[in-house]
Structure 1
Amino acid sequence: MKQREKDVHYFTKARSSKSTKIIKQIDSCRVKGTRVGFGKLRITEQVTGYDQRLVSNQKSIGIVPLDLPKLEFETQGLWIEIPDYVRDKIESDRMHFMGGIHALEHAAIGIMPLLVMTDRNDLGGISIPFHSQTKKAAVFIYDGVPGGLGLSEQAFKHSQEFLERTFNAIRSCKCETGCPACVHSPKCGSGNRPIDKLSSLKILEMILSGEEKETFYKINEPDFESISEETSDFDSKIIHKDNLRYGVLDIETRRSAKEVGGWNKAEKMGVSCAILYDSKTAVYQEYLQKDIESLCEDLQKLDLVIGFNIIRFDYKVLSGLSDFDFFSLPTLDILLKVHERLGYRLSLDHLAGQTLGCGKSADGLMALKWWEQGKIDKIIEYCKQDVKVTRDLYLYGKENQFLVFKNKAGNQARIPVNL
């Protein structure tokens, strides 16, 4: 095609997605209510399209998708782990958690040149609502060139000062919702969306004023290649595998979050029943708490385990009953996929109702009452219905590449998903 120069009334801005793997953890330290790690990272970035914006008012007039190859490089970086109790508090207060850690990432990159002689363009960052290796949300800051320049290493050595300066930079800025002086980035691949300045302040405030309240998982290096994030090998090598044998898992608990002291103590909730659908046999297998080891054996036979909030909830509950590493399983969490796109969570009932025209048969509170009443048959029936709905959402999304939800304006809209 012949190229020609043309005056247009818009400019373009690239849109991209990124993911990271921790190849080797070199060091870590405790900072108040969290931990900061440092090590060797593998960064994967893909330009997904570009945004056309009017020159006159910066308003977007369309996004043009692109199909380009992924770019990968290895470098050094640090990561700030966000404890589950912090996330639970942010979400219970109806603040935007993804917007908060995204804003924290931008502010941290902006403040690092005060600790290290560098330019913010020499740095990169990724904020992830759940990272499979840390087993919680994390904010990564890394050297933006292959091999690294020692920049993030220097910042890691001053981790507490780094977090405190980031907090003060956000707090001292007089803007209300965020600006380039605090939490906006001129090179953000998602156009500074979502961003929540108040949420980032609350997250940092809780971390810097808190003490360690939960388990911080040791990074298990031999498992790195089996656990990845976002645009992982599971998408390309497992989900697209011919004759994929997948399972859909859901569990119900014996105790509520309130009874065990909070969602961050899910491992104490116990299991009233678990249902696993096996695509090879088309059987809905039932398990009670005494059958958890059998469940572990059956899960290992699958190419892919599918669930809804399975990583942050089901696996945590099950981890309290078995030494098996559930997080090492090749897993597709539909809720995480939705959260990555929207920046906030939707219920299974909402997605099923809008996408499939059906819903759940009961809810978790009713299942807890049934447990107290000894009505295990009703719990199994309810759990089995959740598995059916989750399976049908997966199949619909896999075939159509989208799910349907009702947005905040009350209108039905599509969520693009890669299932």
Structure 2
Amino acid sequence: MAIEKSLIQPEPVISAIINGDNTGVLKINGEEHPYEAPDVNDLRQALMKRVIGEAATLGRPVRVTSMDDSGVSYLVVSPAGEVEEEQPEAVPEDASSILERIPSAPAATTTVAKAPSTADAPPTRRSIREASSFLAAPSAVEPASQGIRGWLNSLGMSLAPSEEELSEREDIRLASKHFAGTRTIAVANQKGGSNKTPTVADLAAVFGRNGGSVVAWDNNPTTGTLGWRTEKGDHSRSALDVIAAADALLSPTAQSADINAFVHHQSTDKYDVLRSDADVAGTHEVTAEEVDILHRVVSKYYRLILMDSGNNHRSAEWNRMIDHADQLVVPTTNEEDRVEAALLTLQGLDLKGERSADLASNAVVIVSERQRGEARLSQETAEKFRPYVRDVVVVPFDEALKSGQIRFGALQPATRRAWLRAAAAVARGL
């Protein structure tokens, strides 16, 4: 039974704000009531219970403007606990002025052309080649699964997803894309401590979790940190062991599982790691030709290759990585020297040759916040790069990325969303 909206009055003006840290605020005629709960669904239930109580006290439906990470929703709540969503244009100004209005698309209009008055006019014949498909384009959109709309859908409603949820679905689609042939992503900044390794691990996790066949390769002249920040398999093999076994791994009789003896699988993030040599007494330096061999091997076994790199942009393995790259990612923190090094990395590639210049101009720069409270500085850093590269993404500070093994599921929701956004930006260039 539909809620009788004619009973709604201008007051009370109610708004609900749901934060990402499971806290919220319910405003009733300007008076704030803070809430906190163990999880976001409990928080929504607590807020809704209070709103239903308000409607029951008044004996009539009330309007609620709700805002969370998925966007703004306009709801009508009855004393019996029934909930309906209203379109923004149906909401009076005095009930929604406390939040920005969601722009609504103009209503579609249909123009019907009248038939000619002459009944016996012969039909105009056209070439069958001009006919487009008679199949209707798919238009169904799955109901919302996130935010207040998703929660209401879990109670039996069927509300459309918000713009933010639609945007996230598109990013997931891009991160899930399977390309025809292997694609190589080079992650480079000639300054240490610029967040290269976490960038490789988190991008690999996004692609891996979304169904990709992904390897993160530590293309480092010495012991790289990718092996320290990721899970270790039941062996200690590295890129040097792959070089030694390359003939067997590239042979026609090799099987897809053979590579598992040389890489280290990430059990929850669904990608593999090819470690650099960890022998502290080792003296072997990987040559450009050996990078070619390694790339042939991993290209046979994986569809997506993410290459971590050292800091020496003059070394053979660094330059050969660039030769193999289909997409360049330049990570940086918001520290001045790391930002300058990112700029110099791009400028150096621009001067190196036509192909590397194209990589630089189509690069994705990822700015990772070094510590809390630097959101404004990070945005200012991002704006410096925007005129010169294809895309820039800011990743918020996250304690789980500071040290230890990097596990995507341990990150905060806002951090995971930022890395998904970054992976989608990378995928657009592949």
| Structure-2-length-normalised TM-score | 0.25
Rg larger for: 2
The structure carrying a bigger strand percent of its residues is: 1
| Structure-1-length-normalised TM-score | 0.26
